[in-house]
Structure formats: structure tokens, C-alpha cells
Structure 1
Amino acid sequence: MIQGLPDSKFWRGRRVLLTGHTGFKGAWLLFWLEAMGARVTGCSLAPEQPEALFSHLHAPERLAAEIVDIRNPEELNTLIARAEPEIVFHLAAQSLVRRGYSDPHGTFATNVSGTNNLLQALAQTNTARAIVVTTTDKVYRNANDGRAFVETDPLGGHDPYSASKAACEMVVDGWRSRFAEAGCAIATARAGNVIGGGDWAEDRLIPDAVKAWSSGHALQVRRPDATRPWQHVLEPLRGYLVLAEKLASGAETAPAYNFGPGTDSATVRKVLSLAAAEFADAKTDFAITEDGPVEARALALDPGLAETDLGIRSLWDLDRTVTRTARWYRAFLDGRPARDLCEADCDTYLEDVRLASMAGIR
């Protein structure tokens, strides 16, 4: 077993519940889990976009039994009673900042009440031994000073999405002792800004850039100098998997972990300059303005706890993360199958983890 790498033997035949499996991160995680032989039950709304990554990686027949709204406790109870999961990854969420402003009720209903519905159903079924609830790097009370947040920093949120995710953390805290009494460990995972091939969601930097550039339009950018902890999607997913293994083993863990690139936060402008190099005639209009919903100017995470406890450290620097992501989209638009591209990224990434582990980098 290689430190910092998910153990395929642990996952083979394991009953896993994955909420949000039709989303961008969920589709990648489902792909990885099934490659290791896990028996995964999904729980999600149908994909929003016709080009959604899930539709390219997984058979549509599975959706018939797995389209469940976590805001509906009856449907959720039925699904979980049938699945009897041992390990749970809760990724289902309303995950867009701007949509949080346009639909605050739906955002809080999904991210807060939906999480509570899930945990209540899991408590009733009582088969889970490890639960990983994903929130966001935006759960912290942010003074925009650029300081990297640690897990013990105060939670907050200056917009409905961020506040709903901070409230989600409180819901998890409220259930923690109940699950501990039943022999189930639970932790939250706070990941930095995730990019990678196959994300087509609205109001996200790389998907918006790809859509604009591939159609011959200029990308309009409001806040080019905002900084974020960008990372490839495989980085936090590795963290989630290793964290779940640790929780299931009964080892002592923290209640929450940051997953991000450490001090390697970068501006929107820098990310776009790297991505544009992979697209001919890519044009970007940088209009520095504060118009639009309030968003954090600076955001950074300290992932030191994940490195100490889990052996997890980001491997791909910003250049490789953005370039690999842009090339995924470029190849996909040129007709290469998404499954082939995802397999190539996974193979390369896992080999890099192995090499880093042997070199003592993790």
C-alpha cells in the first residue's frame, strides 16, 4: 500500500453511497470508485447539461433508480434503506455562488435541509461506518486579506451559497456524536477551486472560457485579479478517498480537512493566460469592475493538516493543472471520447502519486 494513495483492496466490493454523482466532481469520483471495484449507488438530480460528463462516462440506465432529490426525505430514506451503504460521500449541493443569489431558498434547502435529511436517513439505516461531507473553501469568514485559512478558523459566509455551506458544517457537527455512538465516523472536506476536464456548469471560469473561445467569442471577465486556490479535480478526490479509508479504520481524525494547493493560489488572469495557450485565437476582455454579486477578492487554504494526518499533498502545480485541463477540453472538442481522456488523466495522476510517494514527497 502506497501512502497517500487510495487502497484498491479496501474499495473492492465496498458498498458506497455517492450523492451528487451526476455532477462534475461526482462523475469523476464515480469513475474512480468503480475502477477500483466499489459497488456504488448514486443519489442525485438528473444532469443539468446535455453534454454533462456523467453522460459520457456512465450508462444512462443507472439513472432510473438513482434520480433522487435530497430535499425529499421519503425518497431518500427508500434509496438508503435499499443501498445499505458502508461508506458515504456527500457531494450533492447547489454549488454555484451566483445561483445562490438568484435562488437563496433553493440553495439553503439543498445544502442545509438536504444534508440533514441525508444524515437522518443514514442514522435510521445504521450501516454506514464512514461519512465524508464535502463543503467548500468558502465556508470561512473571509476578511479578504489573503491569509490561508486553517480548519479551526471561524466559519461564516457573505453570500447565500457560502453561508449555506457554513450552515451545512453546523448540521454535520450536530450529528457527529450520534454517529460516533453507532460506530460511524464523519468529517467534512473543504476543497479549493476545482478545475478539470468535463465541467460544463454555468458561471465557472474554465467552462465559460472554453464555451467562448470554441465559438469564436471573447471571454468577458469582471475580476481578473481575484485569487483562488486552483487545483485539478483528482487532487481533492484523492483526499476524499483516503479520508474515508481513515475514518472507516477507526483511526483518530479531525472533524474537517482542507484540500488545496497550499501557497499556490493564483489570479484569474494567470489561469486564463495558461488556458488560452491551448486555444487558437483565444480572446479575453478584462473589465475590472465590482459590478455583480459580492465575491471574495482573495481566498487561500492551508492544507497542512491533510498532509500530516492523511499523507495528502497536492502534486500538480498550477501550470500543469491548467494546461492538462485545457488540453482535455481541446481534445474533447476535436472528437476524442471523454472516457479515454479521463482514463489518461487518471493513469498519469496515479503514476505521479506513486513516484512522489517513492521519493518521499507524497
Structure 2
Amino acid sequence: MIVAFENRFYGKSIVITGHTGFKGPWLTAWLQLMGAEVTGIALEPPTNPSHFVVAGMGEGIQDHRIDVRDPEKISRVITEAQPDFVFHLAAQALVRRSYENPLETWQTNVLGTLHILEALRKLDKPCAAVIITSDKCYDNVEWVWGYRETDAMGGPDPYSASKGAAELAIRSHIKSYFPKSTSKVRIASARAGNVIGGGDWADSRIIPDCVRAWSENGIVELRNPASTRPWQHVLEPLSGYLALAAALSERDELHGEPFNFGPQAQQNHSVLELVQEMSKHWEKVRWEDVSSAVEGPYESGLLKLNCDKALHHLQWHAVMGFKDTVCMTAEWYKAYYQQPDAIRACTESQISEYMAHAKAQGLRWAQ
């Protein structure tokens, strides 16, 4: 049975780690719209501007500034919150930064995940926990078909390797400490990547790079214009996490299972195609191909996911096409520059618009 979001999360205690980052504010706003009681665990917002700050996401939630590398504080907050659901998003999420700070990346992504799992061991109540890793957890050999949940873990860069290691740690902890037959806590991992949407201001990401440059009438430099990615709007994987959490709370056979969340297979587009589509919604746009002049660390050129498992078990699939994804992203940033004080309303409006898309396509979790 697929449980509608509004009925599953209303009045529930929910812990979100990483709620000050990119995905976190969107998930926080979505859960608040559904009447959930949210507890956030994160560092200070990592960017300026910040979606979390400008939209006032800290209002109406329990907002904690804690590093996931601090196991005692993590355990205390989770124990006090007595959550019905946990969404672990906190991570060091930038490939280029992982080369600069590999130890921080491994500590945050692996030990941080273990600290969440250890805190969950102390709960003596039903709880559904979705641990988010990344599509880069796979050992990417750049084949043309999508990776399945059973494919090998690992990657050549510190970020990818740390996410693969986190998946192994999740699987080990579930088998060792959360037996399927008796555990009150149910856990699943979620893998998604190449997410775009309003509120992302991170360095070395193509959409923020474009917005920053174009808002100042500058030129955006394209380091890897030919690289292809399965671009998806931030609300797509978040809907998958919510659908997985709702189903996990009802169905013990999903305990311990990993799930991919990505766009439809035909939605792989190059960085250049993304910039060209984005330029249709922005004035005075310019870009320059600097790939031949840039020397940098290795980044994969092709990566996509097979999401048949989510379709079969959760009746989940992406609902937005490439053009709609880019349009919604551009509209959020335009709204930010025109009226930043109203950006919370824009965020909530786009969540409602996304749900309308899902309902129109007959997805049962959205009804």
C-alpha cells in the first residue's frame, strides 16, 4: 500500500540532518506544509546567500547547530526528539572540496553516518530512517546504461569513495544491529545526484555559477561542457525520500534496502545543453568553454541511474521533464533577485506545483 504524504507525516516528529544546506530547506518546508514537527541538525548555513536564512526556515522548528562528527550531541538530540522519521542528508557533498579536504570528507560522510546509526540504536520506538548517500557511491566505469542498486560501490575520488564506504557501513550496521525480524527501527538508503533547483549557492556547481555570473552581467566559465548528467529538480529525489520513508514505516520488507532516485533515462543532458536551456529564462547571458585551459582533478563524464526498483516497490518515478526542471529552477532564482523577502512563498508555491504535477500523473503517493 502506498501512503499519501499528507496523511503519513502530519503531527509526526521528524529529524533532518543537513537542514541548512541545499536539499534540507526544501525538505523542511515540505514537511512543515504537511504539519510535521521538525528537528534540524546541521552546521551553520554553508553559503551566503542561503535559502535557509532568506526563507526563514528556522522558524517553527527545533534548530540545532551540531556537527555530525560529534556522536554525543547527535545522540542526545535524536533521543530527545524521539523521532518517527529520520532523514540523514548532512554530508560533505562537493567533489572538488573532497580533493582539498579528504579527511574531512571521510569523517563527515562515513563516521557521520555511523553516528546517526548509533543514535538510532538507542531508540526504543518505531522509526523509519532514510540515509541519503549519492549516485556517486557506485564504481563508475562510465557505461551507457543506468546503475542498479546491486552494482559495485566505490569511486576514484575521495567524495565518491566515501559515499560508497558509507553504503557499506549502512549495510553492515543494519545486518549487525537492526535485525529485520525484531527491529523497531527500519532503515533504507537513498541514492540520487545531479540535483538542481532554487537555493543552491555552492561553489563549483553549474547552476549557481551561472546565476552568480549572469546576475552581475558576467561570463560563466564551463570547465566540462561535454559532461552529461541526469539532471533533476531538487523536489524529485525529495519526493522519493518521502515516498520511501512512508512505505518503510509500513512495510518491513523494505528494511535494509537501497533505492535509486533519478530522472527518466532519456533525460541525460550535457552541461552545455543545461546552460543553453537556462539561458532561455535569463537576460544578458554569456558563457565560455574553458575546458582546454582548465587543469583539475578527475570528475566522471557520464553517470546515470536505473530507478526501476523505486517504480516497482514505491510506484515512484520522476514527474518533470528537462525543460520544466530548468524553467522552475530559473524562476526561483529570478524571484530571489526580484523579491527576496517573499522567497519562502515561492518555495512553498513550487512544492505545491510539483505535487500538482505528480497528482496529474496519477502517482498514488501524491493523491
Give the TM-score, by structure 1 length.
Answer: 0.94
Q: What is the SS of the residue equivalent to 2:174? A: helix
Query: What is the CA–CA distance in structure 1 between the aligned matches of 2:127 and 2:364, rounded to whole Å?
Result: 33
- Give the aligned residue type for 1:256: P
Deviation at 1:324, TM superposition (A): 1.3
Query: Which one-letter code corresponds to 2:96 in the other structure?
Result: R
After TM superposition, the structure 1 stretch with the greater mean CA deviation from structure 2, 51-60 or 101-110, is: 51-60
Residue 277 of structure 1 is aligned with which of 280, 288, 293? 280
Identity in percent: 39
Deviations 1:98-125 (A, max 9, x none): 1100000000010001111111111023
**Residues 1:319 and 2:320 aligned together:** no
Structure-to-structure mapping, 1:59-78, within 5 angstroms: 60=58, 65-78=63-76
Matched, 1:258 2:263: no
In structure 2, stretches of 5+ residues that fail to align are: none
1:202 equivalenced with 2:200 (yes/no) = no
Provide the C-alpha distance between the structure 2 equivalents of 1:295 and 1:225, rounded to a whole number of angstroms.
Answer: 12
Shift of 1:293: 0.9
Alignment-derived partner of residue 158 in structure 1: 156
The answer to whether the 8 A contact 1:20-1:92 is kept is yes
Report the counterpart of residue 335 of structure 2 in structure 1: 331
Residue 276 of structure 1 aligns with an amino acid whose one-letter code is S
CA shift in 2, pair 1:156/1:51, >3 Å:
same
How far apart are residue 56 of structure 1 and its match? 2.4
Q: CA deviation at 1:291?
A: 1.8
What's the secondary structure of 2:178's corresponding residue?
helix
Work out the CA distance in 2 between the residues paired with 1:297 and 1:361.
34
**Of 335, 355, 359, which aligns to 1:354?**
359
Structure 1 residue aligned with 2:38:
40
Which residues of 2 match residues 126-145 of structure 1 at below 5 A? 126-145=124-143
Letter in 1 for 2:361: A
Q: Is 1:101 equivalent to 2:99 in the alignment?
A: yes
Is 1:133–1:188's contact at 8 Å kept on the other side of the alignment? yes
Instruction: Indicate the larger mover: 289-298 or 310-319.
Output: 289-298
CA distance in 1, matches of 2:200, 2:7: 29
Tell me the distance in 1 between the aligned counterparts of 2:317 and 2:349: 21
Aligned length: 360
Distance 1:231 1:78, change over 3 A: same
Cα shift at 1:262? 2.6
Instruction: Note if 1:15 corresponds to 2:13.
Output: yes
Question: Structure 1 66/352 Cα, relative in aligned 2: closer, same or farther at 3 Å?
Answer: same
Aligned ranges 1:294-305 → 2 under 5 Å? 294-305=298-309
Q: Do 2:39 and 2:61's aligned partners in 1 also have CA atoms closer than 8 Å?
A: no
Q: Say whether residues 1:92 and 2:90 are aligned partners.
A: yes
Q: Is this contact kept in 1: 2:41–2:65, CA < 8 A? A: yes
Distance, in Å, in 2 between the alignment partners of 1:59 and 1:195 is 19
C-alpha displacement of 1:244: 0.4
Q: Is the 8 A contact 2:231 2:322 kept in 1?
A: yes
Cα distance 1:62–1:102, how it changes in 2: closer, same or farther (>3 A)?
Answer: farther
Distance 1:361 1:351 in 2: 8
Q: Deviations over 1:141-171 (max 9, x none)?
A: 1112332111111111110001101011011
Contact 1:276 1:282 (C-alpha < 8 Å) held by counterparts: yes
Q: Which moved more, 1:221-230 or 1:60-69?
A: 60-69
For 2:364 and 2:90, the matched residues in 1 are separated by 36
Q: Which residue does 1:292 correspond to in 2? A: 296
Judged with a 3 Å threshold, the aligned counterparts in structure 2 of structure 1 residues 127 and 70 are, in CA distance, closer, same or farther, namely farther
One-letter amino acid of the structure 1 residue matched with residue 231 of structure 2: W
- Contact 1:222–1:291 under 8 Å retained in 2: no
Residue 103 to residue 358, structure 1, CA distance change in 2 (3 Å): closer
Question: Which amino acid in structure 2 is aligned with residue 350 of structure 1?
Answer: M
What's the offset of the Cα at 1:6? 4.0
Counterpart secondary structure, 2:76: helix
Q: Does 2:324 align with 1:308? A: no
Give 1:331 shift. 2.0
- Aligned partner letter, 1:217: G
Deviation at 1:195, TM superposition (A): 0.6
CA contact (8 A) 2:196 2:232 kept: yes
What do the CA deviations read for 1:285-311 (whole angstroms, capped 9, x no partner)? 012336201000101111111111101
**Secondary structure class of the residue paired with 2:362:** helix
Q: What TM-score do you get using the length of structure 2 for normalisation? A: 0.93
How far off is 1:203 after superposition? 1.1
- The residue type equivalent to 2:16 in the other structure is L
- Give the whole-Å Cα distance in 1 for the aligned partners of 2:363 and 2:197: 26
Root-mean-square deviation (CA, aligned residues, Å) is 2.1
Contact 1:126 1:182 in 2 (8 A): no
Instruction: Tell me the CA shift for residue 50 of structure 1.
Output: 3.1
Q: Contact 1:21/1:42 (CA < 8 Å) preserved in 2? A: yes
Q: Is the 8 A contact 2:75 2:119 kept in 1?
A: yes
